[in-house]
A and B are shown apart, each in its own frame.
Chain A
């Protein structure tokens, strides 16, 4: 770290000192790209919140995208991904740095997303049960009345794909999203899911086979 501090240049050091800033903190703020995940995690574990915020900036797009894949809702995705960052921050002390930060963080995020989907499915089922009991459940599964927008082909495709993905069991869906959407390697997915690589390959195979069947006409 001292080398970086020296390399920061006279102007940067003077600026930091003039503003009475911690030099490491100033360095993280001004040139976060020069810090690896491990360094940022170590600094965050020592109490440098700025270091953790740099990790947030680094992973917020990916975190949001994963959450959006599960929720298909911008605000929900934002909330879930932020909740994952907060969880990671609160429990950073329990991260032993043997794994990569992002696999540890993705595991937190994916767990939150799966839990969110479970809760949502349960609420929808309970709501359906209530309506059935009240004799009002004649409109099938809880889809709202079609809006004008749903006439658009792209929208329909998106909904069909979303439904096909949502119908996959959680582990298959997670494996598929991390591989197909996020480009993680099988080994990385195995780390996130704490599963054997063979198991991950099997989940991926089943997920793709199911999607091929459900979305055959899109090919």
Chain B
């Protein structure tokens, strides 16, 4: 406790990240040895590691539903899977043609091609007085790719969070700084 009171709570800046990885046993042997050597001589980092070991397990809130819950869980999912069926629809067949990397590439290429085509042929396909369809309307066909879109949710989450932070109620400071 004396050590706790006398020392700064901050670990050495250059070891801070490695201490967390050390706690989770995610360091290579060489780095781990380096950290252990440093810990022998640095009380602040020892204290920081001690805090990690004390705090992090406490963040796990155990929820232990009863056996009846799991029985009901299995029954429910069994029923829902039965309803869902295991036949492969045309949409799934179509989706199976797409793989992770070609999708954004193909989509980007398609949008560029569409934009160039629309620009160059403006006035030929539609009378000048009739505005061409909005790009957004054309893109609505991608609604069928809902699943793939949801799988890429991570890619846009930073932007969404930033937008939501700005949209927050008046007077509330956004705590979702990136």
Contacts and interface: CB of A to CB of B under 8 A. Distances in A.
A68 B69 CA distance: 14
Interface string A153-185: 000011001101101011100000001110001
B37 interface: no
A82 interface: yes
Given A90-B92, A94-B92, A169-B176, A74 B63 contact: yes
B14 interface: no
Interface stretch (B73-81, B112-120, B123-131, B132-140): B73-81
Contacts of A115: 150, 153
A114 interface: yes
Nearest to B62: A65
A193 B86 contact: no
A101 interface: no
A146 interface: no
A82 B73 contact: yes
Given A89-B84, A96-B99, A161 B59 contact: yes
A143 interface: no
Contact of A56 (B65, B77, B87, B175): B77
Interface string B88-102: 100011011011100
A186 B27 CA distance: 10
A212 B55 contact: yes
A181 B17 contact: no
A169 B147 CA distance: 23
B148 to A, nearest CB: 8
Nearest to B21: A201
Nearest to A161: B59
Interface residues of A, number: 73
A132 interface: yes
B151 A111 contact: yes
B16 A186 contact: no
Nearest to A104: B151
A169 B63 contact: no
A118 B26 CA distance: 31
Interface string A117-139: 01001100100110010000000
Contacts of A205: 16-17, 20
6 contacts: A82-B73, A94-B95, A114-B157, A171-B154, A208-B56, A212-B55
Interface of B: 9, 16-17, 20-21, 24, 26, 51-52, 54-56, 58-61, 63, 65, 69-70, 73-74, 76-78, 80-82, 84, 86-88, 92-93, 95-96, 98-100, 147-148, 150-151, 153-155, 157-158, 160-161, 164, 167-170, 172, 175-178
Interface of A: 44, 47-49, 52-53, 56-57, 60-61, 64-65, 68-69, 72, 74, 77-78, 82, 85-87, 89-91, 93-94, 96, 107-108, 110-112, 114-115, 118, 121-122, 125, 128-129, 132, 141, 157-158, 161-162, 164-165, 167, 169-171, 179-181, 185-186, 193-195, 201-202, 204-205, 208-209, 211-212, 215-216, 218-219
